[in-house]
């Protein structure tokens, strides 16, 4: 079997008809999944991706599909489409945002679906201390887990940039964030993994140390221009944001990220343009 030397990791937040930033419509998400399936791509579980980083290359045309924050639309729109096209995904949830109550209706169940706000509206609800209508419920998480299509991991407990608010106490605050998130996941799901996604993409050497001490090994960034190869540092997993665009457009980005010759040149050029300095 031909093996992949690089696994592109796709980063989503929303799949919803609502407009706004970092949003993909259901129509475009369908087209993106259809392109991946038509071109022979498969989506990895996080365990399979971890094996790839540890030195066992994943099969050729492998990707990892991830969602950040844990919004309601991930259940209403993304989950049914993932099931339809036979793909797997990981959702990094902010554990304090997840609410209780019965599972709501998702697309294709023959009833009106709940409103799924755009990203700015979700941020306003979170800032007002009422994220429950914008975020997943535990019952919905359990329903998605039971189907084996989606897995759930930590995105901290409150998604706070403590380096901006309390820089002198940021390390203490982050250690508490991770402890609370792990405790919540263990209590509500019966397990907690060693995969963590940084809130708002920020991390530094102190945070990496704290995460490792807390039991996390695989640390997901918002850095787009690097390669996830066998033997790559699991504390610096590269992901690129998927835009509200066609499957063919996302396909071009996936192919560039996978190409052993194009990817290093493309990444170096993009890092140079943005003034970014990191390995990969």
**Tens digits of residue pLDDT in 200-238:** 999 999 999 999 999 999 999 999 999 999 999 999 999
Q: What is residue 277's predicted lDDT score, i.e. its pLDDT?
A: 75
Q: What is residue 3's predicted lDDT score, i.e. its pLDDT?
A: 66
In this predicted structure, the answer to whether residue 113 has a pLDDT above a threshold of 70 is yes
Q: What is residue 168's predicted lDDT score, i.e. its pLDDT?
A: 94
Residue 185, CA atoms < 13 Å, CB-side half-sphere: 25
Please state, in angstroms and as integers, the Cα–Cα distance from residue 101 to each residue in 57, 97, 98, 154, following that order.
Answer: 41, 13, 10, 21
In this predicted structure, the answer to whether residue 278 has a pLDDT above a threshold of 80 is no
In this predicted structure, the answer to whether residue 242 has a pLDDT above a threshold of 70 is yes
Q: Which residues contact 174 (CB under 8 A, 6 or more apart)?
A: 156, 162, 206, 207, 210, 211
Mean pLDDT over the full length of the chain: 95
- In tens, the pLDDT along 3-29 reads 668 999 999 999 999 877 799 999 999
In this predicted structure, the answer to whether residue 241 has a pLDDT above a threshold of 90 is yes
CA-based nearest residue to 229, from 49, 67, 73, 90: 49
DSSP state of 75: I
What number of residues does the chain have? 280
What percentage of the chain exceeds 70 in pLDDT?
98
Q: What is residue 186's predicted lDDT score, i.e. its pLDDT?
A: 98
Q: What is residue 10's predicted lDDT score, i.e. its pLDDT?
A: 98
Burial class (CB in 10 A: 0-12, 13-18, 19+), 241: middle
Enter the tokens of residue 145: 């887990």
Q: What is residue 1's predicted lDDT score, i.e. its pLDDT?
A: 55
pTM reported for the whole predicted model: 0.96
CATH topology of domain 9-274: TIM Barrel (3.20.20)
- In tens, the pLDDT along 41-51 reads 999 999 999 99
DSSP reduced 3-state for 157 = coil
* Rounded Cα gap, residues 77 and 140, in angstroms: 12
Q: What is residue 208's predicted lDDT score, i.e. its pLDDT?
A: 98
Q: What is residue 133's predicted lDDT score, i.e. its pLDDT?
A: 83
In this predicted structure, the answer to whether residue 279 has a pLDDT above a threshold of 70 is no
């Amino acid at each position: 079997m031909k093996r992949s030397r690089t696994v592109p990791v796709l980063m989503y937040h929303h799949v919803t008809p609502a407009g706004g930033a970092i949003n993909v419509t259901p129509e475009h998400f369908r087209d993106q999944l259809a392109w991946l399936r038509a071109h022979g791509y498969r989506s990895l579980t996080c365990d399979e991706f971890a094996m790839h980083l540890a030195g066992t290359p994943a099969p050729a045309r492998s990707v990892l599909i991830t969602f950040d924050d844990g919004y309601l639309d991930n259940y209403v729109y993304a989950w049914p489409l993932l099931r339809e096209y036979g793909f797997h995904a990981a959702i990094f949830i902010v554990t304090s945002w997840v609410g209780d109550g019965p599972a709501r209706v998702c697309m294709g169940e023959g009833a009106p679906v709940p409103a799924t706000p755009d990203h700015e509206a979700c941020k306003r609800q979170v800032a007002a201390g009422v994220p429950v209508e914008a975020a997943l419920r535990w019952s919905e998480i359990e329903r998605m887990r039971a189907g084996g299509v989606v897995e759930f991991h930590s995105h901290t407990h409150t998604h706070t940039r403590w380096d901006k608010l309390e820089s002198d106490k940021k390390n203490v605050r982050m250690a508490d964030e991770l402890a609370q998130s792990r405790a919540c996941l263990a209590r509500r799901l019966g397990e907690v993994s060693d995969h963590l996604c940084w809130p708002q993409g920020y991390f530094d050497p102190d945070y990496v140390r704290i995460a490792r001490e807390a039991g996390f090994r695989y640390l997901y960034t918002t850095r787009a221009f690097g390669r996830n190869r066998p033997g790559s540092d699991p504390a610096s997993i590269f992901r690129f944001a998927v835009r509200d665009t066609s499957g063919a457009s996302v396909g071009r980005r996936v192919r560039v990220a996978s190409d052993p010759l194009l990817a290093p040149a493309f990444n170096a050029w993009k890092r140079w343009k943005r003034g970014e300095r990191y390995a990969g």
